[in-house]
Amino acid sequence: LKEENAILRSKINKLQSLSETQADKMRKLEKKLEENKIKEEKEAQDLEAMVQHVEQNLQLMTKRAVKAENSAAKLRQENALLQAELRNSKLETEALRAGQAGLATAKQNAEVALQHLLQVTTSSRASIRQLLSGAESLQLVADLLKSIDRISEVSEDGQ
């Protein structure tokens, strides 16, 4: 009976040792799980902050694009007016040539109108380039947002 008790005590000691080992493992796993939760929460916060920053940039770029479009439309109107003025100046020049009177004045008016037209054309081109640059920036932001969605989907699938 003593021998059997000794065997049982030995088994109890082994089971207690095994139980303590498993409890240690359990505590380590719980600690690791908590660390992972904290890490995931921080990553989620960082991702949310990045999304908000991207959204702010998108709004700013949209405002810039609208402003550039409005500027381009205004410049197109001014360009059309100056082209009409240039046509009128040309007609006036032709009339003056036919009458041989005031040729120098009409030429000067045509030259002034031409200079205005060239200035507006140059300004219009710059505005159109700015508008295209804004559109490219918006496309880049849209692509970035698509990438963020894919990262979120992969992150959710990986959990």
- Nearest in space to 122 (alpha carbons), one of 86, 82, 67: 82
Question: What angle in degrees, to the nearest 10, is found between the helix axes of 103-158 and 2-99?
Answer: 170
Name residues whose C-beta falls within 8 Å of residue 85's C-beta, 6 or more positions apart in sequence: 113, 116
Q: What are the structure tokens assigned to 102, written together?
A: 């005031």
Name residues whose C-beta falls within 8 Å of residue 64's C-beta, 6 or more positions apart in sequence: 134
Pick 108 or 12 by higher pLDDT. 12
- What integer is the mean pLDDT of 77-100? 82
- Say which DSSP state 159 is in: -
* Structural domains of the chain, count: 1
> pLDDT digits over 94-133, tens only?
776 666 555 577 678 888 888 888 888 888 888 888 888 8
Q: Determine, yes or no, domain membership for 154.
A: no
- The parent domain of residue 20 ranges over 1-109
Predicted confidence at residue 9, as pLDDT, reads 93
**pTM (whole model) above 0.75:** no
CA 113, 118, 122 angle in degrees (round to 5)? 150
User: Do residues 72 and 120 touch, judged by C-beta distance below 8 A?
Assistant: no
- What integer is the mean pLDDT of 80-90? 89
Kindly report each contact of residues 55-58 with a partner whose C-beta sits within 8 Å and lies 24 or more positions away, as own/partner.
Answer: 57/141, 58/138, 58/141, 58/145
Q: Determine, yes or no, domain membership for 153.
A: no
Q: Determine, yes or no, domain membership for 104.
A: yes
Q: Determine, yes or no, domain membership for 144.
A: no
